[in-house]
Structure 1
Amino acid sequence: MPVRMSESSHGSRGKGVGLGLALASALAFGGSGVAAKPLIEAGLDPLHVVWLRVAGAAVVMLPLAVRNRALPRQRPALLAGFGLLAVAGVQACYFAAISRIPVGVALLVEYLAPALVLGWVRFVQRRPVTRAAALGVVLAVGGLVCVVEVWSGLGFDALGLLLALCAACCQVGYFVLSDQGSEAGAEAPDPLGVIAYGLIVGALVLTAVARPWTMDWSVLSGTARMNGDAVPAVALLAWIVLVATVVAYVTGVLSVRRLSPQVAGVVACLEAVIATVLAWVLLGEHLSAPQVVGGLVVLVGAFIAQSSTPAKGAAEPVSSGPAESELAVRETVV
């Protein structure tokens, strides 16, 4: 049966399930870079790895697309946006970034996204933000300065950092689009159908960009080196497709539907920690003390920014005068 959101999902039980799903998504997404980088170093182009990831996941989710075949007619813009930004954009920019800079650094830059969501709330949704939220953004940017070690003359590849920042911008689209229709109750689009068609759209776009027919397919029949150890390339690909894509997207979108883009973004920050630790243990990518401290500051800043953002649908604080109070009541009703 399609997954539908009911009013009970907004209760404490629904929020608990949502937090569990968000944590599972962070764990699943966190292992993608660690599994993909050995394939890239073995000879696959980053775009080819992205295409394999998205196309493989699209095939797995194809039965759900067939079940929701009316969805492209009902929500074409949502599916196109999700495929272009939340699937193709995020994955292509991130994988291209980790081919030039360490996995941990790429993830920490990408996870400026929760702070960027705050910009969406303030300038697009026209909702005021608190001083604490603004402080969180400042902390996140300051932590990023430490991560990239600006004082040493930008120690990392500038293009790699730019690609990671592009991934952050696309991830804002992932959080915002995942929340579309969450207030429509039984009329909300099936989130699994949105994921399935988003993967299909992303696969089609990436096919035109990556040109998989030029890929060195022989790499998949061999092994890749993970911190000196030989690992079957096909096993790494299976992990990327099934766990780091299918499981990650399903649990991530369902968590946003039960929580909100802001709250889900906070929990998703754990992905950066998970990926950095895995890259440290499995790939031998060690970060300096200032980078570790900077990464923690980025995550703390993102947490403060998102936890201080007004909840979706909440009435905004206004003056206590009669006219302002009446206006607030009218806006709440609307």
Structure 2
Amino acid sequence: MPVQMSESSQGSRGKGAGLGLALASALAFGGSGVAAKPLIEAGLDPLHVVWLRVTGAALVMLPLAVRHRSLLRRRPALLAGFGLLAVSGVQACYFAALSRIPVGVALLIEYLAPALVLGWVRFVQRRPVSRAAALGVILAAGGLACVVEVWSGLSFDALGLLLALGAACCQVGYFVLADHGGDAGEQAPDPLGVIAYGLLVGAAVLTVVARPWSMRWSVLTGSAHLNGTAVPAVALLAWIVLVATVVAYVTGVLSVRRLSPQVAGVVACLEAVIATVLAWVLLGEHLSAPQIIGGAVVLVGAFIAQSATPAQGSPEPVTAGGPERELSEHRASA
């Protein structure tokens, strides 16, 4: 006789899986900048690094695109939006920012996205948010302000900061579109298919923008310097494609489906802390004491947001996702 699990047990297990996926995604994404910056310094244009990253990942995911080809007919707008915003937009703006400002700062500005997601959910979708989720976003934004040291008059490169902010806006599209259709039951678009076609769309767009035929291909046959240590450029590229793109997108989209856009977004702020630590250790980009404190505040905000409870009086709280969504629909049909 099968043992029946309580709804709370199923919800807790689903949320735990979502958090694990979100952390795995943060770890994978967090290493992209550290691996990409040596390639940029070795002579590759930032857009060419983005093109190599997205095109390589698209080729890896091509069999899944063939398997889920029905998505082209059912969800063409979703696939186009995911490719333009969540893939090409985020990557192009972020890597262009990397060439002008430190890795940690670029990524931390990009992760103002959770605050923007919260605003989207509250004021555009007009859905309630829990106090814990809102507090987590506020703390994360405050930590970001410390990392950028806004009191010093933003001494960083202005164009680099604008590019990082553009990546944050595109990141909003990533979280919102990753959650799109997640509550449609069996009709929900398969997340792996969405990622595969998003990468293909992104690769097509970036091919036009980056013009890879003008790239210095010889850089990939040599070595790049990681804080004085010579590393094969192709090894760095393999890490960027397989781990920092394929693994990162798959675990990231699955985590959004199980949590919610703004909770997964705040947990993803850990990526910025991870990238900052890696840049410190591997690239020698040292941060000041206020910047370190700011990173700790981002961690606290992520912890509070991931423990967010449903907003009171809301039958479909914005912090409910994945199994919680299914249970809510189950109760309604009953």
Q: TM-score, normalised by structure 1?
A: 0.86
Partners of 1:222 and 1:193 in 2: how far apart?
35
* Amino acid in structure 1 at the alignment position of 2:245: T
Partners of 1:138 and 1:20 in 2: how far apart?
23
Q: Is the 8 A contact 1:106 1:164 kept in 2?
A: yes
Cα separation, partners in 2 of 1:10 and 1:44, compared to 1, 3 Å: farther
Matched, 1:11 2:11: yes
Partners of 1:131 and 1:255 in 2: how far apart?
21
Secondary structure in structure 2 of the residue aligned to 1:263 = helix
Q: Is the 8 A contact 1:10 1:258 kept in 2?
A: no
Q: Is the 8 A contact 1:108 1:298 kept in 2?
A: no
* Amino acid in structure 1 at the alignment position of 2:174: Y
Matched, 1:192 2:192: yes
Q: Is the 8 A contact 2:115 2:138 kept in 1?
A: no
Partners of 1:209 and 1:309 in 2: how far apart?
43
The aligned counterpart of 2:325 is none
The aligned counterpart of 1:327 is none
Q: Deviations over 1:255-277 (max 9, x none)?
A: 11122212222321211111111
Q: Deviations over 1:125-167 (max 9, x none)?
A: 1124466655555544443332222333322111111111111
* Superposition map of 1:183-262 within 5 A: 183-262=183-262
Partners of 2:138 and 2:254 in 1: how far apart?
30
Q: Is the 8 A contact 2:129 2:311 kept in 1?
A: no
Aligned length: 314
State the identity as a percent.
86
Unaligned runs of 5+ in 1: 1-6, 318-331
**What is the Cα deviation at residue 20 of structure 1?**
1.6
Q: Is the 8 A contact 2:222 2:233 kept in 1?
A: yes
Cα separation, partners in 2 of 1:312 and 1:282, compared to 1, 3 Å: farther
**What is the Cα deviation at residue 307 of structure 1?**
5.7
Q: Is the 8 A contact 1:260 1:312 kept in 2?
A: no
**What is the Cα deviation at residue 293 of structure 1?**
1.6
Partners of 2:25 and 2:314 in 1: how far apart?
26
* Amino acid in structure 2 at the alignment position of 1:24: A
Greater shift, 281-290 or 299-308, is seen at 299-308
Cα separation, partners in 2 of 1:230 and 1:20, compared to 1, 3 Å: same
Cα separation, partners in 2 of 1:217 and 1:312, compared to 1, 3 Å: farther
Partners of 1:178 and 1:116 in 2: how far apart?
15
The aligned counterpart of 1:289 is 289
The aligned counterpart of 1:320 is none
**What is the Cα deviation at residue 305 of structure 1?**
6.2
Partners of 2:258 and 2:43 in 1: how far apart?
40
Secondary structure in structure 2 of the residue aligned to 1:290 = helix
* Amino acid in structure 2 at the alignment position of 1:268: A
Cα separation, partners in 2 of 1:172 and 1:44, compared to 1, 3 Å: same
Matched, 1:148 2:148: yes
Partners of 2:9 and 2:92 in 1: how far apart?
33
Cα separation, partners in 2 of 1:137 and 1:64, compared to 1, 3 Å: closer
Q: Is the 8 A contact 2:267 2:302 kept in 1?
A: no
The aligned counterpart of 1:43 is 43
Q: Deviations over 1:23-43 (max 9, x none)?
A: 111111111000000000000
Matched, 1:25 2:25: yes
Secondary structure in structure 2 of the residue aligned to 1:230 = strand
The aligned counterpart of 1:162 is 162
Q: Is the 8 A contact 1:139 1:297 kept in 2?
A: yes
Partners of 1:26 and 1:170 in 2: how far apart?
17
* Amino acid in structure 2 at the alignment position of 1:47: L
Q: TM-score, normalised by structure 2?
A: 0.86
* Amino acid in structure 1 at the alignment position of 2:215: M
RMSD of aligned residue pairs (Cα, Å): 2.6
Cα separation, partners in 2 of 1:70 and 1:138, compared to 1, 3 Å: closer
Secondary structure in structure 2 of the residue aligned to 1:61 = helix
**What is the Cα deviation at residue 22 of structure 1?**
1.3
The aligned counterpart of 2:55 is 55
The aligned counterpart of 2:109 is 109
* Amino acid in structure 2 at the alignment position of 1:155: S
Q: Is the 8 A contact 2:85 2:173 kept in 1?
A: yes
Q: Deviations over 1:174-193 (max 9, x none)?
A: 11111111111111111110
* Superposition map of 1:42-121 within 5 A: 42-121=42-121
Q: Is the 8 A contact 1:27 1:271 kept in 2?
A: yes
Greater shift, 46-55 or 152-161, is seen at 152-161
* Superposition map of 1:262-301 within 5 A: 262-301=262-301
